[in-house]
Chain A
Amino acid sequence: MTVDTWQIVAQGILGTLQLTAVGFALGALLGLPLLVLRISAAWPLRALARTYIEVTRGVPLIIWLFLIYNGPTQIDPALGSVFTSWRSAVLAIALVSAAYMAEIYRGALRAVKQGQFEASRALGMSRLDTATRVIGPQMVRVAIPSSASYAIGLLKDSSLASTIGVFEITYYASVASSNTASVTPFFVAGIYYVALTFPSAWAARSLEGYLMKRTA
């Protein structure tokens, strides 16, 4: 195992982090309107959101990557410059994450006691204030552990983006492996993934602990 291998694979660390962070952040944002539709009083909206969530989660990420990366160019080859590897990967991860996050939010919403909604209504707070100042902050506390484990899973799943040529850890490991006919680069990649997930898990636990200490 040469220093070279470590350095080559390390070139992908930033790519992995960026892809995961941007994809997850977009998914976490898109999950909010999706939650609103999912719990809407109008059943067609509920059905729409539910269908989106089930279909998006039901299809493996790698299929979404291929569909989003290759699909548009089949319609118009010029779209290839719009749907680059990076953009396609971010989009696929964001769309899939939105579905997972909406379900995490829904679970968090159900964990907030009914009395909190009633108290807010009885005080005359508007729906927006109730959502953003009373219910939302309480949902965040509940949603952190599951969001964190989802994000950590995503960090590893982002390796699938190597298949459409995103420059991340697994991509560099594959290239190095085929150049040297050795499995070592994948071993190195594995170590990098573990090294990245440890601090993330730790950060999530500290944040959760901090928020719990404030309210307990």
Chain B
Amino acid sequence: MTTSPALPHDAIVLQNVEKQFGDHVVLNNVSMSVSSGEVVALIGPSGAGKSTLLRCINLLERPTSGSITVEGVTIQVDHSIKAKELAALRSRVGMVFQSFNLFPHLTVLRNISLPQQRVLGRSQAEAEERAMTLLERVGLADKAKQYPGRCSGGQQQRIAIARALALDPKVMLFDEPTSALDPELGLEVLAVMRELADEGMTMVVVTHEMQFARDVSDHVVVMSDGAILEEGKPHEIFASPSQPRTRAFLRAVLDRQ
């Protein structure tokens, strides 16, 4: 498959994705697509299935049925998934977690260089050069030799973003990237994400940061009870949500902010 970076195409397509834990339906027949270069904010009350949906995109969570396409790699989950397909899919997707999940036993530099060497086969020199470029970009070049435990939460999250970007993903997934951070530390992370969005990275962001969803995203998806309640342009969703459930949710979060 050939794709021209200039023309928007479907970067992510989810079709009829279902996820059940026993009797409990977490995702109920969810379909959505994300164009290349688009920033999608996934919002909704907790327990709505936002994180589960996000984790299905790189198959950290395996859906019960449905299909997932990321940048031309399609996986039908009812079939057995080949390790090769899974690797191909994951190589296209970078992920940032709420709890950062940096490797505590490795220096900041090594956190970013090791995956490049092991996954992409880059040389150590090459991987470290790329790591330093990214660390400079997130403003943390001086932390390269430190261990993650010595860094603040906001710094750790920026390092985690650099680690994911080092593998040259086509798509970045963010699972509540600022929820574990103090508000002012969250801001430095949001600034990095805003820059990424401006550069045209395809992003799916599960977030409770309504300001970010409103200002940075191109598209807002509201989830509730394992299904998509409504979706649209941020100004539509925030100004005139069509669903009463969305209105109630937005009122609750916006009142708090």
B97 touches A215 (CB 8 A): no
- Interface stretch of the complex, out of A73-81, A87-95, A115-123, A167-175: A115-123
A123 with B147, Cβ < 8 A, contacts A134-B103, A138-B104, A138-B105 known: no
Q: Give the chain B neighbours of A133 by CB distance below 8 A.
A: 114, 118
B119 at the interface (CB under 8 A from A): yes
Q: How far is the CB of B26 from chain A (nearest CB, A)?
A: 17
A116 with B101, Cβ < 8 A, contacts A124-B167, A216-B147 known: yes
B91 at the interface (CB under 8 A from A): yes
Instruction: Report which residue of A118, A126, A129 has the largest number of chain B beta carbons within 10 angstroms of its beta carbon.
Output: A118
B119 touches A123 (CB 8 A): yes
Q: Give the chain B neighbours of A153 by CB distance below 8 A.
A: none
> Complex formed: what's the CA distance from A216 to B163 in Å?
20
Q: Give the chain A neighbours of B119 by CB distance below 8 A.
A: 123-125
Q: How far is the CB of B41 from chain A (nearest CB, A)?
A: 20
Q: Give the chain B neighbours of A215 by CB distance below 8 A.
A: 104-105, 147, 149
B60 at the interface (CB under 8 A from A): yes
Instruction: Report which residue of A123, A129, A138 has the largest number of chain B beta carbons within 10 angstroms of its beta carbon.
Output: A123
Q: How far is the CB of B228 from chain A (nearest CB, A)?
A: 24
In the complex formed, the residue of A with least CB distance to B88 is: A124
B58 at the interface (CB under 8 A from A): yes
- Give the contacting residue for A118; candidates B60, B147, B150, B164; CB below 8 A: B60
Contact with A along B81-106 (1 / 0, CB 8 A): 00000010011011101011111110
B2-32 CB contacts (< 8 Å) to partner A: none
B147 touches A214 (CB 8 A): yes
In the complex formed, the residue of B with least CB distance to A121 is: B60
Contact with A along B128-170 (1 / 0, CB 8 A): 0000000000000000000101100000000010011001000
B90 touches A121 (CB 8 A): yes
A156 at the interface (CB under 8 A from B): no
Q: Give the chain B neighbours of A216 by CB distance below 8 A.
A: 147, 149-150
**Chain B interface residue number, banded:** 20 to 34
Contact with A along B101-125 (1 / 0, CB 8 A): 1111100000000110011000000
> Complex formed: what's the CA distance from A118 to B99 in Å?
11
> Complex formed: what's the CA distance from A138 to B101 in Å?
13
A97-121 CB contacts (< 8 Å) to partner B: 113, 115-116, 118-119, 121
A123 touches B115 (CB 8 A): yes
A115 touches B103 (CB 8 A): no
B87 touches A123 (CB 8 A): no
B95 touches A122 (CB 8 A): yes
Q: Give the chain B neighbours of A138 by CB distance below 8 A.
A: 103-105
> Complex formed: what's the CA distance from A141 to B104 in Å?
11
B87 touches A124 (CB 8 A): yes
A123 with B164, Cβ < 8 A, contacts A133-B118, A215-B149 known: yes
> Complex formed: what's the CA distance from A130 to B91 in Å?
15
Q: How far is the CB of A215 from chain B (nearest CB, A)?
A: 5
Q: How far is the CB of A34 from chain B (nearest CB, A)?
A: 24
Q: Give the chain A neighbours of B87 by CB distance below 8 A.
A: 124
A116 with B90, Cβ < 8 A, contacts A126-B118, A216-B147 known: no
Interface residues in chain B, defined as those with a beta carbon under 8 Å from any beta carbon in chain A: 58, 60, 87, 90-91, 93-95, 97, 99-105, 114-115, 118-119, 147, 149-150, 160, 163-164, 167
Return 25 A-B CB contacts under 8 Å, by A number. A115-B99, A116-B103, A119-B95, A121-B90, A122-B58, A122-B60, A122-B94, A123-B90, A123-B115, A123-B163, A123-B164, A123-B167, A124-B87, A124-B90, A124-B115, A126-B118, A129-B118, A133-B114, A133-B118, A134-B103, A137-B105, A214-B105, A214-B147, A215-B104, A216-B149
Closest 4 CB pairs of A and B: A119-B101, A115-B101, A122-B95, A124-B90
